[in-house]
Amino acid sequence: MDAMWRKPLLVLGLETSCDETAAAVVRGFPPGPGEILSNVTYSQISEHSPYGGVVPEIAARAHAELLDGIIGTALAEAAIELAAVDAVAATAGPGLIGAVIVGLMSAKALAMAAAKPLIAINHLEAHALSARLCAKLEFPFLLLLISGGHCQILAAERLGEYRRYGATIDDAVGECFDKTAKLLGLPYPGGPEIERWAKRGNPKRYALPRPMLGRDGSDFSFSGLKTAVRQTVANHSPLDGQAKADMAASVQAAIVEVLSDRVRNAMRRFRKSHDGSGPFHFVAAGGVAANCAIRDTLAAVAAGENFVLSVPPIEYCTDNGAMVAWAGVERLAAGLTDGLDAPPRDRWPLEAVRHVESPRA
């Protein structure tokens, strides 16, 4: 692909698709890594934790209240004026629609006021490209995206071209962590709590299902596991401290086993459809990739299949502004900008993002 721009690009990125209000300034050029001049994240955990999950209306209101200040801090920490950026990027979906609208409309206002291009970013693409923000990583690579809202495996062929190998047919894996934590009376978000409790638990105490294990392909399913946890907790209630730790360990073990199985199938498919002897690149991103038990097992699976695992540092794995700014850098470098009529979207599959046409053979 011919890059339109040659100099390092400076992009302001806004992220408001769920419960993090975030803004960042990143400078760089593909294939990365980018220079993160600032990365400001306000996590709305305390606003949502009384409800055990994200409440869309509360998220949208909090973004509207906080985003201005966070943008100001991001520019100040980067020691630049808005006039210095090459473009303004914002998550335009998928996500909670009211939350997405706040960030996208702010970006449109800034882009218009400063006469800069707007770049409407697909949140999943931002996660996918976060590995290139953090390290020089060439396409193609295999990506496992595991968060509270998403659970899919895809081949990232080049900017804007992603082939989905599998996805959840019901719940996302992060939801399974969060629901289990709620059933055990642990605070939101549940993933880090389950990981902490699992450390002193017996993963064999409770026999839980491993949905999709051994099946062809790379789809996931977690609703059966969630139901099994609910029934087991109800049958053994009240759970003492050790029982809670054992349940946390048992559910984490089930999740690790399922993820490994699905990822192994995807690696075999990726190897078959890509030339070369490898090693191939495998990226795990999204909040759940912060889990050390999952990371360690995925690294072992990767090694066995001739892949090398890379996981962006935790602050770039969970929702953040820097990954949105970086996705903006990549798109601007390829000449892909958007009009001020770019729509906010609650659903936006990664296969539907715009990309530069393939160069003619």
Q: Cα–chain-centroid distance for residue 107?
A: 21
Residue 148 interacts, among Zn ion, ligand KG4, none and using kind-specific CB cut-offs from 5 to 8 Å, with: ligand KG4
Q: Which residues bind ligand KG4 (CB under 6 A)?
A: 18, 147-149, 174, 177-178, 189-192, 195, 286-288, 290-291, 318-319
| Of residues 211 and 287, the one with the C-beta less far from ligand KG4 | 287
CA distance 123 to 146: 13
Burial code of 303-329, b = ≥16 C-beta within 10 A, e = fewer? eebebebbbbeeebbbbbbbbbbbbbb
Least distance from C-beta 127 to Zn ion, angstroms? 6
> Which distant-in-sequence residues (6+ apart) come within 8 Å of 210 by Cβ?
225, 254, 257, 258, 261
Rama region for 335: left / alpha / beta (φ>0; ψ in -120 to 50; rest): left
Identify what 191 binds: Zn ion, ligand KG4, none; CB under 5 to 8 Å per kind.
ligand KG4
Question: Smallest distance, Å, CB 202 to Zn ion?
Answer: 32
For ligand KG4, give the closer residue by CB, 140 or 286.
286
Binding site for Zn ion (CB under 5 A): 147, 319
What CA–CA distance (Å, rounded) separates 217 from 265? 6
Task: Report whether 51 contacts 11 (CB < 8 A).
Answer: no
- 203 interacts with, out of Zn ion, ligand KG4, none, CB within 5 to 8 A per kind: none
Instruction: Choose the contact partner of 174 out of ligand KG4, Zn ion, none; CB within 5 to 8 A by kind.
Output: ligand KG4
Kindly state the smallest distance separating residue 41's Cβ from Zn ion, in Å.
12
Handedness of CA 111, 88, 46, 180 (dihedral sign): positive
Nearer residue to ligand KG4 within complex by CB, 319 or 338: 319
Q: How wide is the angle at C-alpha 325 spanned by C-alphas 322 and 326, nearest 5°?
A: 85
CB of residue 335 vs ligand KG4: minimum separation in angstroms? 28
User: Which lies closer to ligand KG4 via its Cβ, residue 177 or residue 270?
Assistant: 177
